[in-house]
Amino acid sequence: MRLVFLGPSGSGKSTQAASLAARWRIPSLSTGDLLRDAMAKGRLETIAAHSDLGKQAQAQMEAGELVPDQLMVGLMRESFGAPATQHGWILDGFPRNLAQSQALDTLLQIMGQPYGQVVYFDVPENKLVDRMLKRGRQNDSEDLIRQRLQVYNEQTVPLIDFYRRRQCLVEIDGSLSPQEITDAISSVIKPLAIV
């Protein structure tokens, strides 16, 4: 079971990634968590193999920008090296632009592990902003939320068509309740996973 979860901040993909990963006993690789963990351990510079890129990353995260691709790809390469990922994974937050999706193809080719499907969480924009404001996470000002959405619209939205053309995109109505979304994903993904 190798899945990519695609969707904007506030679409609920992280919640679903965590609960489905637990159910299927595979790791959920959440880029936000991986980045915050690497930052707390002072490892960003090493992973990026470039000290300036590592230093920029924290400011970029705080500003709602994407961190450099080189850092992200290094982080993913490292994560895929963990034995726990041998039997499957859910990618939550990667790829987030076309360059990253190409880097993912290359990484997976090297590992001989193709991804199965890309699950796209579709949620209307006004609902997203509403949810995020209610979530009230520290530093989640409306400006920052709108900035993240703009970055998503510019850089990540092109991936929807990219994967749709590859015929591996599964679209989920992300405005449903968490339980309904879990059920919707399980019913689409499960039969394929058994094959």
**Which positions touch ligand ADP (CB under 6 A)?**
9, 31-32, 35, 60-61, 64-67, 72, 93-94, 96, 100, 148
Q: Which is nearer to ligand ADP, 18 or 170 (CB)?
A: 18
Shortest Å distance, C-beta 7 to ligand ADP: 9
Shortest Å distance, C-beta 105 to ligand ADP: 15
**What 3-state class would DSSP assign to 142?**
helix
**What 3-state class would DSSP assign to 88?**
coil
**What 3-state class would DSSP assign to 33?**
helix
Shortest Å distance, C-beta 175 to ligand ADP: 17
Shortest Å distance, C-beta 176 to ligand ADP: 18
Torsion angle in degrees (nearest 10) through CA of 169, 173, 177, 178? 10
Q: Which is nearer to ligand ADP, 79 or 148 (CB)?
A: 148
The radius of gyration of the chain from alpha carbons, rounded to an integer in Å, stands at: 16
Q: Is the Cβ–Cβ distance between 174 and 185 less than 8 Å?
A: no
Q: Give residue number: closest CB to ligand ADP.
A: 32
Q: Which is nearer to ligand ADP, 54 or 93 (CB)?
A: 93
The residue count for the chain: 195
Sign of the dihedral defined by the CA atoms of residues 124, 139, 13, 149, in that order: positive
Q: Which is nearer to ligand ADP, 26 or 66 (CB)?
A: 66
Single-letter amino acid, residue 154:
E
Q: Which is nearer to ligand ADP, 35 or 169 (CB)?
A: 35
Shortest Å distance, C-beta 194 to ligand ADP: 30
Q: Which residues contact 34 (CB under 8 A, 6 or more apart)?
A: 75, 79
